Amino acid sequence: MSAVLAARHLTKHFPGVKALDGVSFELERGEIHALCGENGAGKSTLIKLLGGIHPKGSHEGELLVDGAPVAFDGPASAEAAGIAVIHQELALVPELSVAENLFLGRLPRRGFRVDWNRLHTETAFWLERVGVSLSPETAVESLGVGQKQMLEIARALSKKSRILILDEPTAALAEHETRTLLDLLRQFRREGVSCIYISHRLEEVFALADRITVLRDGRSVYLSKTSETNRETLIRHMAGRDIPKSDRASSPETRRAAFARNAVPRLEITGLRVTDPAAPEDAPDVLEGIDLRVHAGEIMGIGGLMGAGRSSLLMHLAGAWGRRTGGKVRLDGADLAPTSPADTLKRGLALVSEDRRRYGFIPGQSIGFNLSLSSMGEIQRGWIRGEQETPRNRAVFDELGIRAPGQETGVSVLSGGNQQKTVLGRVLLAGPKVILLDEPTRGIDVAAKEEIYVLIRKLALTGVGIVLVSSELPELINLSDRILMLREGRPSGVFPRGTSAETLLAAAMSPPTP
C-alpha cells in the first residue's frame, strides 16, 4: 500500500506558540486513521494545514498527495486534490434547500438559468449514497444536526473527494446517528475512500480506526495499529508523563493557614441546573447537578473537554447566560440570583472570559479606559476624578507588568498577553471576592503565561476565591487545589491535588455514571 496523503516534518508557529513541531503523518488508501490528543495538542492546526486553510508559506514541512509534493494556497486547491475537511461547525446556509447547499457555488445550469431538474436528480443520487432519505427541496434549517452532518459528507463526496477529514463529527450526534455515520465510513473504506477521524470518544476510535496517531504539544508522540494498543496506553500518551510537579510555595497548606478552612465558603453551588434559553423546549439541560465549594484562598480547577459546559457554567455564574431551573448559588453565604453581570460584579463575583476579543475589552480605547471600566463608581463624584483614576490605574499597570508605553496606549495594538493583563487589571480594580478565570492563558506566549500563573497564586493568597477553567491539563494540575471534571454538563468527579493527568482525562471521557 502507498500513502494517498503524507505530511513530513510539519511545523507551524503562531505568535509565541509552536502549534505543530515537526509532525509527520501518513494516510493509506482505504484507511481510517484516528487522530487523538488533548485540546490544544495540535489536531486542529494539523487538519487546517491538510485542508489548505493554513496555506503554503505559512508553515514549514512538506505535503504529498499520491507521493507527489503539493502546495495548497487555500481550501479550494486542497479540494481540487481530493481532500475535504468537515469541520465541527458546519458550513451550511440554513435558508437554502438541501440541493442548493449540496451544490453551493456550482449549481448545474442551462444557459443563464439553474437547471433545477438536474440539480434535484443529482442531489437525490448523493443523498442516497450517504443513506439519507430527504427531499432535495427541504430547507436546511429544518434538518437535525445528524442530517446536516450527512449532508456535509454528501457534499464532500459529490466533489469527488478521496480523502475525508472529519473533526469531531459525532460531538453533536445522537446514538443512532453516530451508528449510521460509523457504518457509512466503514462502507467508504471498502470503496477505497480514506479518512482522518478526530474524536475525543475513544470507544468510537477503537470501533472504527485502523491506526491511531496521538498528538501532544504539537508533536506526534505515538502511532499504533488499533489492534495492537488499548485505551490506557492511549490516554497515557495523550496526557504525557512529563507533567511538572506543583511547586510548594503556594501549596494549599500555606493558604489554609491564612484562611480558616471551615469558614463560610466564598462560593457555594448546590445542585445547579441551567438550561439554554435559546434551545428548544425538550432540549436537555446544559448543566445539571453541579455542586461546588470554593473557599477563601482556594483555587478550584474545572476541567473537561470542549463542550463539557465549563464556559457555560462560568457565564451563568456571572449573570450573563442561561436560565436557572434549579439549585442555589451563594456568595459569602448570601444567595446570588442570576440577574445581570453588573449586579454580580457589584456583589463581588467577576469573570475573565475565554474570548478576550468578544467579551474582554473595548477595542479602539486605551489601556486606562479599559482598566477603569468595571470600577468607575469608585473614582467618581458625578464625574470621573482624573487625579484618582490615573495613579490608581498606573499602580495596576505596573503591578501586572503590562508592557506598553503607557496607559494611554490603545489596547488593540497590544499582544495577547498584555491584553489579558489589561482585562485582569480591570477585574481586579473592581475588588472581587471570587474571580472566575476561563482559559486565562489561551493564545498568549509562554513568558506571559508564567506571569499570569504567579498572579493567580498571589491573588489566592489575598483571600480571593478562584475558579479556574483550563483545557491545558498541566496548567490545571499545577495551579488547582482541587479539580472538578465535567462531562456533557454533568460532574464526573472532584479530584484532590496531585491527581494524575491520566485519571483526569479518563474522567473527562468516561460516560457519566448512571
Partner 1 sequence: MKQTRSSLRETALLLTLGAVGLGFSLATGGDFLTSRNLSQLFIEYSITATLAVGMLLVILPGHIDLSAGSGVGLTGGIAAVLITNQQWPAPAAMAAGLAVALVLWAAMGTLVVREGIPAFIVTLGGLQAFKGLFWKVIENKTIPVAQGGTSNALSLLTTTYLPQWLGWTLAGVLIAGFAWAGWRARSARTAAGLSVETAEMWYLRTFVTAQVLGLLVLVCNRYQGVPMPLVILGAMAFGVHFLVQHTPFGRSLVAIGGNAEAALLSGIRVKRVTLVAFILMGASVALTGMLQTAYAGYSTTDVGNLLELDAVAACVIGGVSLRGGRGGVGGVLIGALLMAVLGKGMSLLGTGPEAKYMVRGAVLVTAVWLDLRMGAAH
> Contact positions toward partner 1, by CB under 8 A?
318, 320, 340-342, 345-346, 351, 353, 358-366, 369, 372-374, 376-377, 380, 382-384, 386-387, 390-391, 394, 406-410, 413, 426, 430
Closer to partner 1 by Cβ: residue 148 or 347: 347
Closer to partner 1 by Cβ: residue 351 or 396: 351
CA angle, 437 then 438 then 443, to 5°: 115
The DSSP H or E segment spanning 291 is strand 287-294
Helix (H, G, I), strand (E, B) or coil at 469: strand
Q: How far is the CB of 360 from partner 1 (least distance, A)?
A: 6
How many angstroms separate the CA atoms of 28 and 55, rounded?
Answer: 23
Which residues lie below 8 Å from residue 111, measured CB to CB, with a gap of 6+?
A: none
How far, in whole angstroms, is CA 49 from its chain's centroid? Answer: 19
Which residues lie below 8 Å from residue 302, measured CB to CB, with a gap of 6+?
A: 310, 313, 467, 468, 469, 470, 483, 484, 485, 486
Q: How far is the CB of 468 from partner 1 (least distance, A)?
A: 18
Closer to partner 1 by Cβ: residue 108 or 410: 410
Q: How far is the CB of 341 from partner 1 (least distance, A)?
A: 5
Q: How far is the CB of 377 from partner 1 (least distance, A)?
A: 7
Closer to partner 1 by Cβ: residue 186 or 346: 346
How many angstroms separate the CA atoms of 48 and 455, rounded?
Answer: 34
Q: How far is the CB of 414 from partner 1 (least distance, A)?
A: 13
Q: How far is the CB of 369 from partner 1 (least distance, A)?
A: 7
Which stretches of 16-87 are DSSP H helices? 43-50, 75-80
How many C-beta atoms lie closer than 10 Å to residue 232's C-beta? 10
Q: How far is the CB of 429 from partner 1 (least distance, A)?
A: 11
Closer to partner 1 by Cβ: residue 109 or 357: 357
Closer to partner 1 by Cβ: residue 70 or 320: 320
Closer to partner 1 by Cβ: residue 160 or 346: 346
Annotate 302-366 with DSSP letters as a single string: EEE-TTSSHHHHHHHHTTSS-EEEEEEEEETTEE-----HHHHHHHTEEEE-S-IIIII--TTSB
Which residues lie below 8 Å from residue 337, measured CB to CB, with a gap of 6+?
A: 343
